[in-house]
Structure 1
Amino acid sequence: MSRAGQRRAGAHAGRRRRRSGGSYVLLGLVFVALLGVIVFTVRPGGWPRTGTASAADSRSQGRSPGSVSAAPVTSPSAVSSTSPSAPASTSASPSSSTTPPVTPSATATTSPPATTSPTVPKSGTGVFATALASGAAAGHGDIRHYKVEVEGGAGISAASAAHEIQSILANPRGWTADGHDGFQLVSSGTVDFVIKIATPDTTDAICGAAGLHTHGEVNCDVGPTVVVNLKRWLLGSPEFDGPVVDYRALIINHEVGHRIGHGHETCPGPGMLAPVMMQQIDGLKGCKANQWPYDAEGHYIQGPSVP
Structure 2
Amino acid sequence: MGGLVALPVFAAVGGAVVAWLPSDAGRTSAALAPVESPAPQTTTESPEPESESESESDESSTSPSPSTTPLPQSGPGTFVTAPGGSGRVGKGTPLRYRVEVEKGITISPEGVAAQVERTLADPRGWTADGHSAFQRVSGGPIDFKVRLATPATVDKVCAEAGLDTGGKVNCSVNHDVMVNLRRWVLATEFYPKDVIGYRSLIINHEVGHFLGHGHVTCTGEGQPAPAMMQQIKGLLGCVPNVWPYDNDGRLVTGPSVP
- TM-score using structure 2 length: 0.73
1:240–1:280 CA contact under 8 A, matched in 2: no
Q: Which residue of 2 aligns with 1:176?
A: 127
Give distance in 2, aligned partners of 1:133 and 1:231: 26
1:242-281 pair list within 5 angstroms: 242-281=193-232
Residues 227-277 of structure 1: CA distance to partner in whole angstroms, max 9, x if unpaired?
Answer: 000110111111235411100000000001111111110000111000000
Question: What is the alpha-carbon distance in structure 1 between the residues aligned to residue 193 and residue 139 of structure 2?
Answer: 34
- The 1-side partners of 2:132 and 2:223 are apart by 26
SS at match of 1:168: helix
2:244 is matched by which residue type in structure 1? P
The answer to whether the aligner puts 1:190 opposite 2:190 as a matched pair is no
Letter in structure 1 aligned against 2:143: D
Contact 1:266 1:303 in 2 (8 A): yes
* Distance in 2 separating the partners of 1:201 and 1:250: 21
CA RMSD in angstroms comes to 1.3
**Equivalent position to 2:188, from 227, 234, 237:** 237
Query: Quick one: which amino acid aligns to residue 115 of structure 1?
Result: A
1:148 aligned onto 2:99:
yes
Deviations 1:127-181 (A, max 9, x none): 1111112010000023100000110011111111112101110001101111111
Match of 2:88 in 1: 137
% same residue: 52
Q: Determine the C-alpha separation between the residues in 1 that align with 2:115 and 2:237.
A: 29
Deviation of 1:115 after TM superposition, in Å, equals: 2.7
> What code does the residue aligned with 1:166 have?
E
The structure 1 segments of at least 4 consecutive aligned residues displaced by more than 3 Å after TM superposition are: none
1:224 and 2:175 aligned = yes
Partners of 2:204 and 2:156 lie apart in 1 by: 23
Q: Which has the higher contact order (CA 8 A, sep 6+)?
A: 2
Q: Deviation string for 1:186-209 (max 9, x for gaps)?
A: 000000101111001111111112
Aligned to 1:115: 39
How many Å separate the matches in 2 of 1:277 and 1:166?
A: 19
In 2: Cα distance, 1:276 partner to 1:242 partner: 18
| TM-score of the aligned structures, taking structure 1 as reference length | 0.61
Q: Provide the secondary structure at the position in 2 that maps to 1:203.
A: helix
CA distance in 2: counterparts of 1:205 and 1:256, whole angstroms:
19
How much has 1:291 moved relative to structure 2?
Answer: 0.3
Q: d(CA) in 1 for partners of 2:39 and 2:170? A: 25
Partner AA of 1:255 in structure 2? E
**Secondary structure at the counterpart of residue 160 of structure 1:** helix
Counterpart CA distance in 1 for 2:39 and 2:207 is 31
Aligned length: 194
Amino acid at match of 1:301: V
> Which structure would you say has the larger Rg?
1
The alignment status of 1:124 with 2:75, answered yes or no, reads yes
Structure 1: runs of 5 or more not aligned: 1-113
SS at match of 1:164: helix
Instruction: Describe the SS at the equivalent of 2:196.
Output: helix
Amino acid at match of 1:306: V
Counterpart of 1:148 in 2: which secondary structure? strand
Q: 1:158 to 1:202 in 2, by over 3 A?
A: same
Kindly indicate whether the alpha-carbon contact (under 8 Å) linking 1:129 and 1:150 is maintained by their aligned counterparts in 2: yes
Whether contact under 8 Å (2:70, 2:106) holds in the other structure is no
